[in-house]
Amino acid sequence: MVDIKKPDDHIDLVWIGSGSTQRYLEEALPILERLADRLPRLRLKIVADFDLPSQRLNTLAVRWSEQGESKQLSSAHIGIAPMPDNAWTRGKCGLKVLQYMAAGLPVVSSPSGVNGKIVEHGVNGFLAEGLEEWKVAIGRLAPDPDLRKMMGEAGRRTVVEHYSVEETCCKMLEALETLSGDL
């Protein structure tokens, strides 16, 4: 993994998505704005097809591109995945969280759906519900580069050990061998 330079003047929370999930970020914005009141170096980097300006939180909109996605994620400090717990979000695949972890970022995520299984609370990130838990999680990660690095490395291991192409192929092969033995 190439070590991408992260800005020293900001602590970038990164969110990647599209207009179809923009409402999840909009719903979390008041929480992030309150955090920015306590952590003035906090900035929200939005890698998407929209901008979400705020008077209280510094934002940086970055147009998503396949070529730039990896660099934009890797150059941030913390990946965030806020979303409500409902039937739709329980069926989502956790891609955003896996992308952050693959980029070596610690994650702060709502425990909705599979995200609650991918994120090991306190190991590769934090699971957070409500203002207080988001404040605690980001408040711990933002000022602590060693904790961010440790959790980011744990997240990379999670992706490699459980979600990489190689690991997925092995699981598929095992499943197919089990099925062929049943025939």
CB atoms within 10 A of CB 106: 28
Residue with structure tokens 């939005």? Answer: 46
Does residue 1 or residue 9 have the better pLDDT? 9
Determine the topology of domain 11-182 in CATH. Rossmann fold (3.40.50)
- Each domain of the chain, given as residue ranges in start order, spans 11-182
Q: pLDDT, tens digit, for every residue of 109-149?
A: 999 999 999 999 999 999 999 889 999 999 999 999 999 99
158 has a pLDDT exceeding 90: yes
Q: pLDDT, tens digit, for every residue of 36-83?
A: 999 999 999 999 999 999 999 999 999 999 999 999 999 999 999 999
Q: Could you give the 3-state DSSP secondary structure of residue 59?
A: strand
Query: What phi and psi, each to the nearest 5 degrees, are found at residue 63?
Result: -65, 125
User: Distance (Å, rounded) from C-alpha 8 to C-alpha 5?
Assistant: 9
